[in-house]
Structure 1
């Protein structure tokens, strides 16, 4: 069986089209499924409010292009562009893009990385999380505020202060392990190792989870979790942390 996944991607993003296919290949090794990936890009260079607004405005075009390919699901892969709009933004964005695709004759479920992260934390039962973002501090504050608007406390945050979205992709995953050690996790029941689908983190998820002993997830692992659920597939990806382990989730809160 082949499943077509449509990705709405910031033009400067080079990570989501690497990590998501890699995880779904691992999933396919377990289930025998095959996935193909089809992208439409919306222009984004700098991660600032004006640039994010322009990119969001272009997402309708992307949804129409991908629905022409009759993809089985759409992924809107820019977390901060949604979260800066405040509580409920991912629900309205997903609904709108689904309507755009359906009006073009290619109805498909829509998963946003922003909504996926909230949904994955809720699935794990997390109540208090520490986060790492590549953003400037004001955008990190907006992300933390969005998470907290869903009743999940952000206990600590590391903001790496990178505004150029191309440079975000060059952040070392090995350094991300070091950044995780900077977090105060004493009050946290989970860590979001990368609150950005452009900041690579997949190879760091398992070692940080083993070191800290609490669930570790990222915008990308959350996106794959919610995508597989939207496709009515088992959310199992070996080596991608507890969220995608296939074990029951929901025991993270306390």
Structure 2
């Protein structure tokens, strides 16, 4: 018999213990008959002001990601979302495949969604190659994100880092800050704006920005959930969070 609350799809989600944005945003995106089940990568709110500090946070995430994935597989999810951005980009495009393979292995072979794959699929669906990117990081994190997109063949026209000094502080980014960042990086040449960082609450603001700009604005959490739904046979159009979930 199927799960009584999640007969269509059970989604495992793992996020850092410092992340307070991904869980409520992903829960707001659920179609009827789909449930989310969240595990936590236990990390400290260490500073990310320079490369050694950022590297220490990455090391903590790596140590705790597989245990967090295993913590959600006991409920029998159909797929797993790994809701952490830096690990996806830090070592570059060439290493992403091996990282993804290790996540699938920890998930018992289940489909795993990570930010690079979800964003690539979204930009392909939107036929957008000329992009601008918003990150929550200081330059040490921005550099790895920018390099990943450039190496993936995108024309990266602009990148804006919000300069958050630690993992938990990322959740303090306000909608006003995001509005200003969108205005700063947009131009007539930009085909889509991409926000990375799952502890940034941008789902609602992205939809509003799309309306005013007349172009796609992709929130990291919305893109992750869209990818997980579509890969696993859920085609429901969810409105109020941007054109990706509403139209693709």
Superposition deviation, residue 91 in structure 1: 2.8
Which position in structure 2 is the counterpart of 1:252? none
Q: 1: distance between equivalents of 2:126 and 2:88? A: 22
Whether contact under 8 Å (2:70, 2:106) holds in the other structure is yes
Q: 1: distance between equivalents of 2:148 and 2:15? A: 21
Counterpart mapping for 1:98-177 below 5 A: 98-102=104-108, 107-177=109-179
TM-score by length of 1: 0.86
1:102-141 Cα deviation digits (max 9, x unpaired): 2xxxx42111123212222222221111111110012112
Whether contact under 8 Å (2:11, 2:34) holds in the other structure is no
Q: 1:223 to 1:161 in 2, by over 3 A?
A: same
For structure 2, list consecutive stretches of 5 or more residues without a partner in the other structure: 1-6, 49-53
Q: 2: distance between equivalents of 1:39 and 1:196? A: 18
TM-score by length of 2: 0.88
Which position in structure 1 is the counterpart of 2:45? 45
1:40-79 Cα deviation digits (max 9, x unpaired): 3231423412211221132121222222221111111111
- The count of corresponding residues between Structure 1 and Structure 2 is 236
Comparing 146-155 with 60-69, which one deviates more in the overlay?
60-69
Q: 1:7 to 1:36 in 2, by over 3 A?
A: closer
Superposition deviation, residue 157 in structure 1: 1.3
Q: 2: distance between equivalents of 1:44 and 1:117? A: 27
Whether contact under 8 Å (1:21, 1:37) holds in the other structure is no
1:159-180 Cα deviation digits (max 9, x unpaired): 1111212111011113311221
Which position in structure 1 is the counterpart of 2:51? none
1:187-241 Cα deviation digits (max 9, x unpaired): 210001x211111111111221111111111211110111112211116220111
Which position in structure 2 is the counterpart of 1:251? none
The two structures, once aligned, show a CA RMSD in angstroms of 1.7
Q: 1: distance between equivalents of 2:40 and 2:231? A: 20
Whether contact under 8 Å (2:39, 2:69) holds in the other structure is no
Superposition deviation, residue 92 in structure 1: 2.2
Counterpart mapping for 1:76-87 below 5 A: 76-87=82-93
Q: 2: distance between equivalents of 1:94 and 1:143? A: 17
